[in-house]
Amino acid sequence: MEKIVVKGVKELRGEVNISCAKNSILPIIAATILCPEPIIIDNAPRLEDVEVICKLLSELNCDVNISNVNDRLTINTKNIVEMDANEELMRKMRASFLIMGPMLARFGYCKLSLPGGCNIGSRPIDLHLKGFKLLGAEVVIGHGFVEVRAKKIVGNRIYLDFPSVGATENIMMASVFAEGTTIIENAAEEPEIWDLAQFLNKMGAKIEGAGFGKITITGVKNLKGISYTPIYDRIEAGTFMIAAAITNSKIKINGVNEEHLRPVIEKLRECGIGFTNYKDHSIVVDGRGSKRPLDIKTLPYPGFPTDMQAQMMSLLSIVEGVSVITETVFENRFMHVAELQRMGANIKIDGRTAIIEGKPRLTGCEVKATDLRAGAAMILSGLVADGETVVNDVYHIDRGYVRIEEKFRNLGAEIYRINM
Ligand code: EPZ
């Protein structure tokens, strides 16, 4: 069982390089199913989730290779088979469900095991299935599986009750070869949606409006092989911004698209953090000043991201005054509160709202990572807690962060991984 040990209290210094976005590369890898020619994806992060979706494609008879040169992923789905995807792998990672849209577009058929829920919520797929049905597919659910079948995919207008990231991505991929035009209204606007559309358009798709609430997809006949480098991981970058804030440090972060992090930067500025940005996608974060409590509500992009909620709670648990965080995206994303309380944080939960009274100091102890972002939040708190913090269940963290302890150690943190 691997654990990460963090010793506080440590100031950070130096630079950190951000990896490519997990939530971009996963749908982009799924989208390679749409094209029977070799595709190259550079700067592919060595993440558990990337390995799982690559393994899934390999099990479907695709050629998948990763090389250390440029972390280059080469995928050829020419010989993909329409077999039932490996249930165990499907349940291991919910994002595997993103292969359903491209499989439906390519074969007119797909059968997958229903993706399980997870610690942060039930993770329904009703909006994905609503889109497939409106595109002309028949959907059958039974025995833990969902099966979609369509003789022909015909463009349609699809309104999403909630701007779901996954549903927007799955429907966009399912409609790439549709007869006619598809319009997705109330679509998710996350930067990763824009990145997926850029990737598909470079292959020859015709997608307009991605990154805004209304996306128009005009069906094309086929797509061609390309090479592509996904965007930087805005959540990893945001996590290191909070690392500078929580440790009263000044560090440089390389690999930041300031626009993608606007909601996080604005809130950290309000808290008292300074930012100096450079032209080459790098930014200096100065967390050495005094800090003010905040009132935060997580919302779909361009609102404050739910994936930064736990990390921000770690920071606010040591900022003098009363802060409020309201989680509106997932119904159960406060599992990390109990772990922070073990470290001495003063947090009360009232439904979807957490009231945080900042304490001068936390104390290190054994804690758990309850999801990948909560795990990162535990490391952040460990950097400023008295004594040693031992984070368990680090497999959650490895799903979304490349060599996280190495990156923190290079910034001067006293942190290491142990296997017990
Ligand atoms: C993506 O998950 C991300 N994962 C999540 O990141 C992120 O937290 C989430 O978007 C929100 O930004 C990937 O991109 C791989 P959603 P996804 O569909 O697509 C409801 C991380 O930490 N909903 O936008 O599953 C759902 O219940 C992970 O990197 C429906 O009701 O998120 C939830 O309340 C965690 N019906 C809300 O939408 C549906 O059919 C947001 O879900 C689909 C979703």
The pLDDT tens digits of the residues spanning 121-141 come to 878 899 999 999 999 999 999
Residue stretches of the annotated binding site:
22-23, 94, 123-127, 307, 329
Q: What is the pLDDT of residue 242?
A: 98
How many CB atoms neighbour CB 71 within 10 A?
Answer: 18
CB of 9 closer than 8 Å to CB of 404: no
Please indicate whether residue 271 is annotated as part of the active site: no
Tokens of 293: 């409590």
Tell me the CA–centroid distance for residue 412 and ligand 1, in Å.
34
Tell me: the pLDDT tens digits for 359-412?
999 999 999 999 999 999 999 999 999 999 999 999 999 999 999 999 999 999
* Band of residue 85 on the pLDDT scale cut at 50, 70, 90: low
Name the β-bridge partners of 179: 154
Which residue minimizes the CA distance to atom 16 of ligand 1? 164
Amino acid at residue number 161 = D
236 lines ligand 1 (CB under 6 A): no
Look at residue 278 in the predicted model and tell me its pLDDT: 83
User: Which ligand 1 atom sits closest to the C-alpha of 166?
Assistant: 19
Amino acid letter, residue 403: R
Does the pLDDT value for residue 117 go beyond 80? Answer: no
| Tens-digit pLDDT profile for residues 161-183 | 999 999 999 999 999 999 999 99
For residue 293 and ligand 1, the question of a CB distance below 6 A is answered with no
273: Cβ contacts below 8 Å, ≥ 6 apart: 241, 244, 245, 285, 286, 287, 289, 291
Structure tokens at 2: 């691997």
Mean pLDDT of 226-234: 98
Distance 329 CA to ligand 1 centre (A): 8
Strands 72-76 vs 63-67: parallel, antiparallel or unpaired: antiparallel
pLDDT tens sequence across 172-219:
999 999 999 999 999 999 999 999 999 999 999 999 999 999 999 999
Buried b (16+ CB within 10 A) or exposed e, 268-305: beebbbebeeeeeebbebbbeeebebbebebbbbeebb
pLDDT at 86 exceeding the cut of 70? no
Query: Where do runs of H (alpha helix) occur along 224-332?
Result: 234-246, 262-271, 309-316
Given the CA of residue 163, which atom of ligand 1 is nearest to it? 24
Tell me, using a 6 A CB cutoff, whether residue 123 lines ligand 1.
Answer: yes
375 CB near ligand 1 (under 6 Å): no
Please indicate whether residue 90 or residue 351 has the higher confidence score (pLDDT): 351
410 within 8 A of 387, measured Cβ to Cβ? no
Question: How far apart are the CA of 161 and the centre of ligand 1, in A?
Answer: 13
**Could you tell me which residues are annotated as the binding site for phosphoenolpyruvate?**
22-23
| Ligand 1 close to Cβ of residue 125 (< 6 A) | yes
SS3 at position 306: helix
Structure-block tokens of residue 143: 């025995």
| Residues 106 and 100: beta-carbon distance below 8 Å | no
Ligand 1, atom 43: nearest CA belongs to which residue?
125
Q: Exactly one of 20, 54, 110, 118 is catalytic; which is it?
A: 118
> What confidence score (pLDDT) does residue 83 get?
66
In the three-class reduction of DSSP (H, G, I as helix; E, B as strand; rest coil), residue 179 is classed as: strand
Q: What's the N-to-C CA distance of the chain in angstroms?
A: 5
Instruction: Calculate how far, in angstroms, residue 364's C-alpha sits from the geometric centre of ligand 1.
Output: 32
Atom of ligand 1 nearest to the CA of 235: 29
- Dist. CA 332 → ligand 1 center (Å): 12
Of 358, 348, 347, the closest CA to residue 384 belongs to 358
